[in-house]
Amino acid sequence: MYESQFVTIIIVEDDPGHAKLIEKNLRRGGLENPIKAFENGQQALDYLKSQGDYTDYPIDQAPLILLDINMPVMNGVELLRIIKQDAKLHDVPVIMLTSTDDQREIDECYSLGCNLYVPKPVEFDRFSEVVRELGLMIGLVAVPSIKCP
């Protein structure tokens, strides 16, 4: 079993610059948790299920996912759907962190079970501030005790 304060933050973001900026600002928000970044949903799913290239990387802490929508190979909505339909993964907290602010996509993500939807601001300073504040919030969030494969 995992304790709520010990979570691994999983960033699923196809833009390496955005992923680095997200990590930097989460750290500015006070998070010291381990952070893993993946460039598409398939890589993240393989990691969560300890399959494919990640069979030798067992997950030793509960995950919390920051998920972009628009990505190659497997987009964020598809990954969210798979996670929330999987008996072992459906309790994993998923925060959509994406530039998409279309109300239909927001509604779809919530209907699929995302825990929070945060549109990424276009302005650099505002984006940095939003992610820093998200880091402060994540530091206070208790996640369920779940064990990935």
pLDDT one-digit tens code per residue, 2-51: 333 578 889 999 999 889 988 988 888 777 888 899 999 999 999 998 88
pLDDT of residue 139 exceeding 50: yes
Q: Are 139 and 41 in contact (CB under 8 A)?
A: no
Parse the chain into domains and list their residue ranges.
7-138
- At the fourth CATH level, the homologous superfamily of domain 7-138 is Response regulator (3.40.50.2300)
Mean pLDDT on 44-60: 83
What whole-number distance in Å separates Cα of residue 103 and Cα of residue 35? 29
Q: Residue 134 — very low, low, confident or very high, per pLDDT cuts 50/70/90?
A: low
What integer pLDDT is reported at residue 36 of this predicted model?
A: 92
The answer on pLDDT for 56 being more than 70 is yes
Q: Residue 58 has what pLDDT? A: 67
Q: Which residue has the tokens 């992923």?
A: 19
pLDDT tens string 75-126: 999 999 999 999 989 889 898 988 877 889 999 999 999 988 888 766 767 7
Q: Quote the pTM value.
A: 0.83
With 0-12 / 13-18 / 19 or more C-beta atoms within 10 angstroms meaning exposed / middle / buried, residue 87 is: exposed
Buried b (16+ CB within 10 A) or exposed e, 103-142: eebbebbeebbbebbbbbeeeeeebbebbbebbeebeeee
Which DSSP letter does residue 54 get?
G
What pLDDT, on a 0 to 100 scale, did the predictor assign at position 120? 76
> How confident is the model at residue 140, as a pLDDT?
52
Confidence band of 141 (pLDDT split at 50, 70, 90) = low
